[in-house]
Amino acid sequence: MAHDDPALQTLLLPFEQGLLPWPADGGALLLRAREGAALHRRDWPGLVCEQSFRPDAEALTRAGLALVEQSDDCRYPLVLVLPPRQRDEARALYARAVSLVAPGGRVVACLANNEGAKSGEADLRQLVGPVGSLVKNKSRACWSAPLHVDGGATLDADLLARWLALDAPRSIADGRFTSRPGVFAWDRVDPASALLAEQLPPDLAGRAADLGAGFGYLSVELLERCPGITTLDLYEAERRALDLARGNLAPFESRAAIGYHWHDVTAGLPAQYDVIVTNPPFHTQMRADRPDIGRRFIAVAAQALKPGGRLWLVANRHLPYESVLTGSFGEVRAVAERDGFKIIEAVKARPAPPTRPDRRGRKDWR
């Protein structure tokens, strides 16, 4: 059964209450779509969804909703938006929504009150002029008047161009990496990942994986510090981050075989590895604390490592990962603690050697 999503419910409320018309033809696009009960209370003819976060995309597909990949070629009479919390990313998404509206179409957006709803409404108003609004379910929906993107009294075309550029990939960390707003630690090197990179021993070798790879920082560090790594697979649930990682790892593709996987790590891994590195997430896209996600990353790593394989993990010091580590690995040791983070190496146990009876009928280890 689909769950209640207050922002999604409020986003669709103007149509349910007859405040806005649903398009008779031409369809509607839902940006940053999420599965929820509101999508199933009535028919929404022509609705298609766009979502770059793999678990949400898979939930939409399982619910029978139509998914489209990001494309700026189509125009829709209605573009619905569930904006992210990060301000630059959200503004870029508003601008993209406006650019995808067919002549005379509308943009409708909704944010939870504690996710910046008032700021989001102010941003949409700044871009398109006067907006209508509705407050319900601790969320705020707002919508534009019919728009004419090729020119109109209410549309700020210069601002539209500037906000579209806010999502452009850009250099960070003195040019070592390319990133963009909205991905994890997008404008800096995350200090927890930096601490893990410092501790990586140069003898790590063989086939490796980076779980929750982001824009590729740990993968780059692993290849630079550990010459014995011959194959590296990056697993990342956010496609926008994985696209960045492809660019950041491009200079290393002659150094090792590199695979890029848009994948939900909690679903398990399809291969076996000698080395796994990870800075696992411990909250959802909606910022709710979820240490169970980190525990699942650890359990999946244990399943995917070969006997004797090594997991190198960084986590906030307070996170309760010790029980799953000791229950899943033969050897666990704390490597370092600093600035509220802990570095742990865990080694997967090797199977016990077989026993054979000696000449006197006793079993002996061989």
Contact 141, 11 (CB under 8 A): yes
Q: Is 325 helix (H, G, I), strand (E, B) or coil?
A: helix
CATH class of 172-347: alpha beta
Residue 139 backbone phi and psi in degrees, to 5: -140, 165
CA distance 225 to 228: 9
Residues in contact with 199: Cβ distance below 8 Å, sequence separation at least 6, in sequence order: 312, 335, 336, 343
Question: Is pTM, for the whole model, over 0.75?
Answer: yes
Identify the residue whose tokens are 């250099």: 171
Each residue's pLDDT tens digit, 12-34: 999 999 999 999 988 999 999 99
Supply the DSSP symbol for 35: -
Closest CA to 233 of 269, 259, 197: 259
- Residue 346: name the closest of 271, 275, 294 by CA: 275
The predicted model gives 274-289 an average pLDDT of 78
Question: What CA–CA distances, in Å, run from 169 to 237, 242, 331?
Answer: 18, 12, 41
Radius of gyration in angstroms for the set of CA atoms belonging to the chain, rounded to a whole number: 24
- pLDDT tens per residue, range 192-248: 999 999 999 999 999 999 999 999 999 999 999 999 999 999 999 999 999 999 999
Residue among 278, 291, 282, 263 at smallest CA distance from 346: 278
85-111 mean pLDDT: 95
Please say if the pLDDT value at position 139 is more than 70: yes
Homologous superfamily in CATH for domain 6-167: Vaccinia Virus protein VP39 (3.40.50.150)
Over range 43-69, report the average pLDDT.
96
Give the pLDDT score at 366: 39
- Quickly state the pLDDT bin for 365 (edges 50, 70, 90): very low
Q: In this predicted model, what pLDDT tens digit does every residue of 145-203 receive, in sequence order?
A: 999 765 544 678 899 999 999 999 999 999 999 999 999 999 999 999 999 999 999 99
User: Measured at the alpha carbon of residue 222, what is the angle toward residues 186 and 168, in degrees to the nearest 5?
Assistant: 25
Average of per-residue pLDDT values in the chain:
92
Query: How far is the C-alpha of 218 from the C-alpha of 213, rounded, in Å?
Result: 7
Residue intervals in the chain for CATH 3.40.50.150: 6-167, 172-347
Nearest to 312 by CA among 282, 328, 296, 334: 334
* d(C-alpha 14, C-alpha 227), whole Å: 58
